[in-house]
Amino acid sequence: MTASIIYKGDLRCECTHLQSGTIIETDAPTDNRGKGERFSPTDTLCVALATCVVTTMGIRAIDMNINLTDTKLDVTKHMLSEPRRIGKIEIVLHIPNTGLSDNDKKILELIGNNCPVMKSLHPDLQVVATYNWL
């Protein structure tokens, strides 16, 4: 088992990662009768995608002797209705200039675009990843 989740009422869940004991909470968003005091479940999906992109790039970067420390990611979620779902996720990566060749950048972008979460998403979900090499 990966996690244990308790529904706390008032549209809030408490999620415990069993290996580490780390706890995150979710709320329904304010536009869906929630308090919006925590990430919503759809927010966590977007964050999972973005962190998977940069983590898989980081794994490959270690093998390439490249340091991606201080890379910043901005994530924007676009919701659709009927049925209510995420229609588009935009991720903008701001990657510090490490003097990389165009080939190294291409390799890292390919790795990010093919991370496990990306490959787990429904093909109707539009994902736009923009890599800004600073």
Average pLDDT of the residues in 125-130: 98
Would you kindly state where each structural domain of the chain is located, as residue ranges? 1-39, 40-133
Split at pLDDT 50, 70, 90, the class of 20 is: very high
* Alpha carbons 11 and 27: distance in angstroms, whole number: 6
pLDDT at residue 98 greater than cutoff 80: no
At the second CATH level, the architecture of 40-133 is 2-Layer Sandwich (3.30)
Average pLDDT of the residues in 29-40: 95
Where do we find the tokens 């090499």? 133
* Alpha carbons 44 and 49: distance in angstroms, whole number: 8
Among 9-13, 56-60, 93-97, 126-130, the minimum mean pLDDT is found in 93-97
Q: How many CB atoms lie within 10 A of CB 23?
A: 12
Mean pLDDT of the chain: 97
Average pLDDT of the residues in 57-64: 97
pLDDT at residue 87 greater than cutoff 90: yes
pLDDT at residue 113 greater than cutoff 80: yes
DSSP state for residue 125 in the 8-state scheme: S
- Going across the sheet that includes 23-27, the strands are 3-9, 12-17, 23-27
**pLDDT above 90: percentage of residues in the chain:** 98
Where do we find the tokens 């990662």? 17
How far are the Cα atoms of 7, 9, 18, 40, 110 from residue 25, in angstroms, in the given order? 10, 12, 14, 9, 32
